[in-house]
Amino acid sequence: MRARPRRHALALLTALLALSGVAGCTKAASPPPPAATATATTPAGRAAAIAAGLSDEELVGQVLMPAVTVSDDVSGAVRQIQDLGLGGVVLMGNVENTDAGASADQVRTVTDALRAAAPTLAGTQPGLLIATDQEYGWVTRIRDGMVQLPSAMAFGAANRPDLTRDAWSGAGQELAAAGVNVDLAPDADVTASPQNAVIGSRSFGGDPEVVSPQVAAAVTGLQSAGVAATLKHFPGHGNTTVDSHQALPVLSQSRADLEATDLAPFRAGIAAGAQLVMSGHLDVSAIDPGTPASFSAKVIDLLRNELGFDGVVVTDALDMAPAEQWAPDEAAVRAFLAGNDLLLMSPDVAAARTGLLVALHSGRITHDRLVESVTRILTLKLTLAAEPRPSTVDTAAQETAASAVAAAAVTVLSGQCSGALVAGPVRVTTSAGRAQQAAWLTEALTAQGVRVVTSGGSEVHLVGYGDESGDLAHGAAVTVAMDTPYLLAAADSPTRLATYSSTQAAMRALAAVLAGKATAPGHSPVPVSGLPGCPSTR
């Protein structure tokens, strides 16, 4: 998902169509909300009691989650929460491979102000869902003042679910301390192609037997800290080459292939207790051809009734191209009728609210269906509200957990498998925009006793997210991939390594391997043409 500033006016024609029921969707069959068997003292029971007493406007407000840009002035967002009675917001920041982004202190100030604006419902203050995309790797909203985990693919290369659980528990503690209670992570996608740039290192790998335990461990870690995990992008964005921000990808797999590969990590995450699942803007030809999964009752029925998920289903961002084939009001109605509970990032949240109310009053959306979703949302809120909120970030324990994963991920794909991988003085070079990583590696090599020079010496060349073959250094002694390892197939270096991440911890781990002070225990979680790598030590 990515925020874009485009907005739409509410069209009279669309409202008329909504009133007449034209182009409606069939409601997905789904299990009853948790409150169906809950007592009044449980979060689910309390949620059901609250939802039963809400007005139409209050109910509709709870299913909307617009984007808020973290800034010093959040007065506009506060007014929007109050005026529309919103159930949650998603904090946006950078999604590019830069060191920019919101700081932990800034986020804490913003979330405190947003939380104070949360509407009172039936005399109760259930709180606000405050979400963000903290996947780590190149999709990381909060960078400054927080420990940076490596990318998901680094976790897959390490293949240590115990380390994954510990690292994501630390990440959850930091998010909770900053006031975030929903992480739109982890990616449960099984990546299947080097051309899938939109997922890439956001995936734990290409083998569901590796990806599934990693997804489960990340969910367990996050939720142990009181932050709800979100599995995405259902039913799997890994076997695509089209960016769903720009167009609708088609999943051509058979139903059996979906079951064997794409659905396995979602099953594992659900079994681990994931509290949300994000429906993807994906054309699943084996289930509902031509309809984005996020708007497909058949796909969400699969999630509810075959995978048994009874938590909150949230759409991918409604400001993405596959959703914008409809005006914001109609898109909101269609997405809700398909079976989603939370509608994420409408390009016009006021129009989406009006569309839902028109559909409710016309009977296109039933009152019971709306109460069902709001009960799920309120159950989640009340469950999260019962968790203690940590107060510290960037602790030594969190740094240690992140460093352990970074060290376990380093992979040799060509060259000797042990001992020092560089001899004599070393010159560090990078593709454009990697000066920080070059400085970190230089510092770490020096600390390992390796002499680093600015001319001559053995060249160690770093490449990362978005780089292509033209960014490689011909004749470099060592080439290191700091994102997906696919580009290493085009390098001519005798020694080729992958860290899958460009964090400072990854550069320290790399330096130790280059100097022969540590082994490279990682194993590439995706195949790289012509580079089988060293035998796994695990």
Residues annotated as catalytic are: 316
Q: Name 503's bridge partners.
A: none
Cα distance between residue 256 and residue 251, in whole Å: 13
| Max Cα-Cα span within the chain | 77
Backbone angles phi, psi at 293, to 5 degrees: -55, -35
Q: Are 128 and 118 in contact (CB under 8 A)?
A: yes
Would you state the structure tokens that stand for residue 56, as one six-digit string? Answer: 């139409």
Sign of the dihedral through C-alpha 367, 9, 80, 185: positive
For the CA atoms of the chain, what is the radius of gyration? Answer: 24
Cα distance between residue 227 and residue 270, in whole Å: 15
Sign of the dihedral through C-alpha 167, 278, 260, 527: negative
Q: Are 82 and 117 in contact (CB under 8 A)?
A: yes
Give the helix ranges, DSSP H, for 203-290.
Answer: 208-224, 255-257, 263-271
Residue with tokens 């419902």: 121
CB-based contacts of 395: which residues, under 8 Å, 6+ apart?
A: 147, 170
Strands (E), 452-501: 458-463, 478-481, 495-498
The helix/strand/coil state of 400 is helix
Would you state the structure tokens that stand for residue 497, as one six-digit string? Answer: 């390594």
The helix/strand/coil state of 224 is helix
Burial code (b: 16+ CB inside 10 Å, e: under 16) for 321-350 equals ebbbebbbbbbbbbbbbbbbbbbbbbbbbb
Q: Which of 394, 481, 469 is nearest to 434 (CA)?
A: 481
